[in-house]
Amino acid sequence: MNEHIWWYTARATGIVAWTLATASVIWGMALSTRALGRRPRAPWLLDLHRYLGGLTVLFVLGHMGSLLLDSYVHFHLRDVLVPFSAPWKPASVAWGIVAFYLLVAVEVTSLLRSSIRKSLWRAVHYLSYGVYGLATLHYLYAGSDVGAASRIAMVVSLGVVVFFLAYLMIGPGRAASVARPRAAEPGERPDRERELEPETT
């Protein structure tokens, strides 16, 4: 077995985790800004957003576990859980650690959404933007595979995020976000409809 197999695994899982996190944030913004239509009703649209978030957590855990098993840099448990304690690029690794904690907060409150206040869920869910930003910085400065393709992907994703923010704040999405939801029609599921309202990110 290649002696650096866990280092390669850590790199691969890190790239996939960043891709999934980015896709989850962008998909959530597409739903919340109504860019997919005034009221997307298909349950799989919201489920896809949730699955992307859940997969992100799994790949981040895989990324951290691979670093612990790797003998090339010698990470210890404290190094992947405590910011600025890593022996290798401590500041860059710290951004990834903080992004992980924000991600956990977002995912846990999403799972508990039916049991907590809507305002609390919404406030915590806004941390998704922090997850994206910090994860991108972590990938850019700590990643050992950052080439032209990766930089292009980062620029494109940032452009999409900025577009949706502008769409929500000053574009058509703003009007949709302040509009009152219509009454449920016969045969509709109101609770499921409300899950697709603008605060989803």
Phi–psi pair at 200, nearest 5 degrees: -65, 130
What mean pLDDT comes out for the span 109-133? 93
Q: Given CA atoms 21, 22, 28, 29 in this order, what sign does their dihedral have?
A: positive
pLDDT > 90? residue 199: no
| The pTM of the whole model exceeds 0.75 | yes
Residue 175 CA to residue 171 CA, distance in Å, equals 8
pLDDT > 80? residue 156: yes
Amino acid found at 147: G
Q: What confidence score (pLDDT) does residue 72 get?
A: 81
Q: What confidence score (pLDDT) does residue 201 get?
A: 46
Residue 59 CA to residue 189 CA, distance in Å, equals 33
pLDDT > 90? residue 64: yes
